[in-house]
Structure 1
């Protein structure tokens, strides 16, 4: 076999063809199943977006009603999973670990994955909301069959029917992050399902990948910087000090986007509407000042790097405005991205090809065995 060149992190390597989403980092464009993100995310219900990913088109009214019902009847959790979550809460297990365990405990229902996909997507918000309440010493709230997917998540978290503006903000967020090319967790899911394994296993693996701070863990720290600044007059002092120490400003810069992350613009608009109708307007104005100052200082300290606002910055601001604690930011991300994971699993299964890249050996050769007594 001839020598094979290695590519660190598989940078630039094409692993699959997909109709689900396209990320154009140079032009700052992001397409979801044919729709620019700014066209789809602020308008669609989450159910419409999931249907689009799974069926390559938007549903008509009858199809949407049927799909909403198909998810609604699957939202409840088996008692065994509730017991698992109770035990995890007693032990104080982090939410992403509890989610991974609960997903792994879901039963496999169908070999083609369609039934599993519906059950997995339907139950993700129920798992996350139930675990949050158990951690707080409260009983889980059963899903309301009269509420949609995003509304049910907020309802199961707080036990009160959410306001329409809050639901729209959450749906915009979930639509925005539902899929994003061949990211680490999506690739993990496709690798697992390519072996012929089931969709539950693939999604559990994706949750494990998303847990890593280099993939799904940035929104919390992005908001922490805003709180650390505390007041607009301290923004330059705090941010300049961080840059002088060589620290990274969380919420700015992206491995793929060389210009402003288009998802940030969508979520910025959603945050403006949300905070305009209530919430802590002061933290919103402070965040805008932190963003303006950060962009100016990044250009000063790292000229030509094009380190622009990314999705994590406005994710943190939006989810905070919805009342979610930072510990729920990544699990909430997962309640949206799971629709993309399952869509990729379906796509990979149709392809029917095992993902099996090669590696380049860089170790020693020609070693001789030394008996134990002579080592």
Structure 2
């Protein structure tokens, strides 16, 4: 690792290296845990196609490679989300690029930021059939349970990324000749919009991405690492941009607890 306070050229070089290695690391991890040989990158393939090749050991067709490429593009940046902000905070101290990216990964690990598409896929499989979807969702709403893949801190309308991924989810479902998951998803979407759209709750990017990854043959438990594989582009870009006119992040906390409280000596406290 470098010592921090690097030039833009150095950070760009390091950032590109991190971006390029993420797919190799994730694919190698999955193959090693399954007792398979690691597959080195194929220099003739693009970023998305190479990942599928290293993960599965066979060349993806053009349609599958394009599908993953679009999914990665849609996830690579989204303003000052939690992981991007964490990366920038670390970088603003003039720590090194590697440490800043680790901050982003650690933040993405939290279930309120990463992992929603895994839980969407789990929900779809739990429902099992399209005709069971409405009852499931209505019960969940009545019990005030969170429906994964819906709602967003910024979007109070239909997430435009979700519209694109829905189209790709439909196409790959038809290609795999298995429409069950997408039909359940579409039924859930219809019920949720009917019941909660007035509150600004619509499908977000996570709702259909799990179906896409599932039919690309990607194991469910590496959905979040793939999120990091994509979002690392945004982390690196924001870090490089911000540190060109760097100022350390130092927000002020506003105290809202009790005031004018009488001091009680330690020995008198109960």
- Same-fold call, TM > 0.5? yes
2:222 to 328, 332, 339: 328
Q: Kindly provide the CA deviation profile for residues 125-182 of structure 1, in whole angstroms up to 9, marking residues without a partner as x.
A: 1111111112222222111111111111111111111111111000100111110011
8 Å CA contact retained: 1:260, 1:310: yes
Shift of 1:298: 3.2
Asked if 1:212 corresponds to 2:107, the answer is no
User: CA, structure 1 residues 196+218, in 2 after alignment: closer, same or farther (shift >3 Å)?
Assistant: same
The answer for the alignment partner of 1:310 in structure 2 is 204
User: Which range moved further: 247-256 or 356-365?
Assistant: 356-365
- Structure with greater helix percent: 2
1:147 to 45, 67, 82: 45
8 Å CA contact retained: 2:39, 2:54: yes
Q: Kindly provide the CA deviation profile for residues 199-249 of structure 1, in whole angstroms up to 9, marking residues without a partner as x.
A: 100000000000111111211111122111111111112111111211111
Q: Note the 1:161-200 alignment, pairs <5 A.
A: 161-200=59-98
Q: Kindly provide the CA deviation profile for residues 319-358 of structure 1, in whole angstroms up to 9, marking residues without a partner as x.
A: 1121112211111111110000000000111012111111
8 Å CA contact retained: 1:226, 1:290: no
List alignment gaps of at least 5 residues for structure 2: none
The answer for the alignment partner of 1:259 in structure 2 is 157
Asked if 1:222 corresponds to 2:120, the answer is yes
User: Which range moved further: 195-204 or 357-366?
Assistant: 357-366
8 Å CA contact retained: 1:263, 1:311: yes
The answer for the alignment partner of 2:172 in structure 1 is 274
The answer for the alignment partner of 2:135 in structure 1 is 237
8 Å CA contact retained: 2:173, 2:215: yes
1:290 to 176, 184, 188: 188
Shift of 1:256: 1.0
Asked if 1:160 corresponds to 2:58, the answer is yes
Give the distance between the partners of 1:268 and 1:260, measured in 2 at CA.
12
Shift of 1:291: 2.1
User: CA, structure 1 residues 317+109, in 2 after alignment: closer, same or farther (shift >3 Å)?
Assistant: farther
Aligned length: 264
Shift of 1:369: 6.6
8 Å CA contact retained: 1:109, 1:116: no
8 Å CA contact retained: 2:134, 2:187: no
Shift of 1:115: 1.5
Shift of 1:363: 7.0
TM-score, scaled to structure 1: 0.66
Query: 1:246 is paired with a residue of what secondary structure?
Result: coil
